[in-house]
Amino acid sequence: MTDTSSSTAPVVDVLCVGAGFSGLYAAHKTTEKGWSFAGFETAPSVGGTWYWNTYPGARCDVESVYYSYSFSEELQQEWTWSERFAPQAEILAYINHVADRFDLRRHFQFNTRVVSATWLADERLWEVALDSGETRRGRYLLAGSGGLSTPKDVDVPGQENFAGLTVSTSRWNISLDDLAGKRVAVIGTGSSGVQCIPLIAEVAEHLTVFQRTPNYVFPARNAPLDAETVEKIKSNYPAIREECRHSPGGIPDRPVTDRAFDVSAEERHERYEKAYERSGFLGVGAEFSDLLLDPEANETAAEFMRGKIREIVDAPEKARVLEPRYHPLGAKRSCFGTDYYETFNRPNVSVVSLRDEPIETMTADSIVTSNDFYQVDALVLAIGFDAFTGPLFALNITTPQAGKLQDAWSDGTRTLLGIMTAGFPNFFMIGGPQSPALVSNVIVTIEQAVDWITGLIDHAKARGAEVIEPTSEAQEDWVTITEETVGQTLYASTDSWYRGSNIAGKPTTFMGYVGGVGKYRRMCAELAERGYPGITLD
């Protein structure tokens, strides 16, 4: 590695990691204010999630008209989404359009990984070290490094023995044709697996799905957006965006107040049927107000979904394996699929329950379970991410007073508003842990966070302060709020990547605020109006 140490490079106002939705909006917002900005991105181009996750079937499951930037009326008028849930390529094209339209690429250094970030207390600056050997200094460090950008390490026993084609959904680098005529195994049935399985089934000679935990898969009900719908949306965008900003989930809400047992079994079933037709995040799982609070109420929705699976899947044994029984509906991230359960009616598709027969090892051409062995030519890993802390810890963020971020968070994430953390001055996370990003339309949270962070920096600058840091007391108050809010729900007791339980050794603390983006926005705004109590300026 050449040493191109750039001590002569100018000190910038803002250093930023990542050129996804977060980094690009941060670049736009801060440079508009006249601040200097230096962004770094491992990938050769913009896009973040939508650059990396190019597996067949990848698309958003928050409707595109909501899952997009709201900061520019011109942008939302000139861009037209073709489908209710745009495919990955279209979302990536949109992000590229945004980068070009607002001339944002010039602020980023691509093919560049930030390997460490160190607070230089005397200079009151951050210094980032890059994998090129260079260093750069700046006043503020923004992490737009993503919640789902670090793939989970492969932990399938014996996977290193496998000699066939191996590909991961989060780093997809083959074409679907490469799987044509092959015996394919997919391991993992979260959102990524659910989206790619039906398409792989269409080309594979045989597809075996290795499923550990069956999840609830709702029909996505994707469809082209017709001209009339697009026109209606475009003429109403400001109101739609406002509704999203003040909603619980960052999408227009459909408030319900009655509980599952307030109505008769027949009425409940009818309502679930209608909700199933509607699908989306406001479908079955949101039909009654207590579904994520009361296990018995939840079970009525869960059993409704199991009934749907039994209706759709012809073979009773396959249906039994696919029926979710190990966690409440919605307490792990729900999945939205197209022809997901129908795919298991194809003669070339089988499903293996790893709960019944765990994988013991792999050979050069097979997966060996406790019960059988399955010959495969290609292996697709859809095993998920080391969410939130994975990318943050890889930044090796260090301050003299608090040490490394991973040490400060060894018992779980501790933040103020999911944006700042005590002991790490001038460090801001966009859509970080303990923000609403985990359970919302993430773009709403990203825009709100960047707006709030820049407002706070303006406030500090106006007072001649260079250093911004939350107090430990304010941080503990926020940790308590997030824990109490989630503690009332079924999320709190369900193993999931939300709680870090998909990664061996990771502390299992819930990594989001589930009180809703609207309420969160109000709390952030109130803090600003009150002059940011709990945040010290120096």
Residues that bind ligand N01 (CB under 6 A): 60-61, 148, 155-156, 187-193, 195, 212-213, 333, 336, 354, 382-385, 497, 502
Token pair in block for residue 366: 């097979």
Candidate residues 57, 87, 138, 146; the one interacting with ligand FAD per rule CB under 6 A:
146
**Three-state helix/strand/coil letters over 303-315:** HHHHHHHHHHCCC
Q: Is 128 helix (H, G, I), strand (E, B) or coil?
A: strand
Told to check if 63 binds ligand FAD by CB under 6 A, we report: no
Q: Are strands 12-17 and 135-143 parallel, antiparallel or unpaired?
A: parallel
Q: How far is CA 203 from CA 55, 189, 337, in A?
A: 14, 19, 18
Closest to 55 measured CA to CA, from 170, 163, 152, 137: 170
Residue 43, contacted partner among ligand FAD, ligand N01, none, CB below 5-8 A by kind: ligand FAD
Q: Smaller CB distance to ligand N01: residue 112 or 353?
A: 353
Candidate residues 442, 468, 517, 524; the one interacting with ligand FAD per rule CB under 6 A:
442
Least separation in angstroms between CB 359 and ligand FAD? 24
Q: Is 13 helix (H, G, I), strand (E, B) or coil?
A: strand
Residue 164 burial by CB count (10 A; 0-12/13-18/19+): exposed, middle or buried? middle
Among 14-22, 295-303, 454-462, 507-515, which window interacts with ligand FAD (CB under 6 A)?
A: 14-22
Residue 190, contacted partner among ligand N01, ligand FAD, none, CB below 5-8 A by kind: ligand N01
Told to check if 221 binds ligand FAD by CB under 6 A, we report: no
Percentage helix, strand, coil for the chain under 3-state DSSP, each rounded to 5: 35, 20, 45
Told to check if 189 binds ligand FAD by CB under 6 A, we report: no
Q: Smaller CB distance to ligand N01: residue 212 or 404?
A: 212
Least separation in angstroms between CB 326 and ligand N01? 8
Told to check if 53 binds ligand FAD by CB under 6 A, we report: yes
Told to check if 489 binds ligand FAD by CB under 6 A, we report: no
| Cβ atoms of residues 245 and 448 within 8 Å | yes
Among 71-79, 142-150, 177-185, 310-318, which window interacts with ligand FAD (CB under 6 A)?
A: 142-150
Q: Smaller CB distance to ligand N01: residue 275 or 438?
A: 438
Residue with the CB atom nearest ligand N01 in the bound state: 190
Closest to 99 measured CA to CA, from 46, 139, 145, 155: 46
Residue 189, contacted partner among ligand FAD, ligand N01, none, CB below 5-8 A by kind: ligand N01
Told to check if 376 binds ligand FAD by CB under 6 A, we report: no
Candidate residues 198, 283, 412, 431; the one interacting with ligand FAD per rule CB under 6 A:
431
Q: Are strands 135-143 and 427-429 parallel, antiparallel or unpaired?
A: parallel
Candidate residues 98, 99, 142, 148; the one interacting with ligand FAD per rule CB under 6 A:
148
Least separation in angstroms between CB 383 and ligand N01? 4
- Tallying the residues shown for the chain, one arrives at 538
Told to check if 67 binds ligand FAD by CB under 6 A, we report: yes
Residue 218, contacted partner among ligand N01, ligand FAD, none, CB below 5-8 A by kind: none
**Three-state helix/strand/coil letters over 274-330:** HHHHHCCCCCHHHCCCCCCCCHHHHHHHHHHHHHHHHHHCCCHHHHHHHCCCCCCCC
Q: Smaller CB distance to ligand FAD: residue 99 or 442?
A: 442
Residue 475, contacted partner among ligand FAD, ligand N01, none, CB below 5-8 A by kind: none
Candidate residues 15, 16, 27, 62; the one interacting with ligand FAD per rule CB under 6 A:
62
**What does the buried/exposed string (b/e) look like for 205-241 if buried means 16 or more CB atoms within 10 Å of the residue's CB?**
ebbbbbbbbbbbbbbbebeebeeeeeeebbeeeeebb
| Cβ atoms of residues 48 and 70 within 8 Å | no
Note the residues at the interface with ligand FAD (CB under 6 A): 17-23, 40-43, 48-49, 51, 53, 58, 60-62, 67, 113-114, 144-149, 192, 391, 394-395, 430-431, 441-442, 446
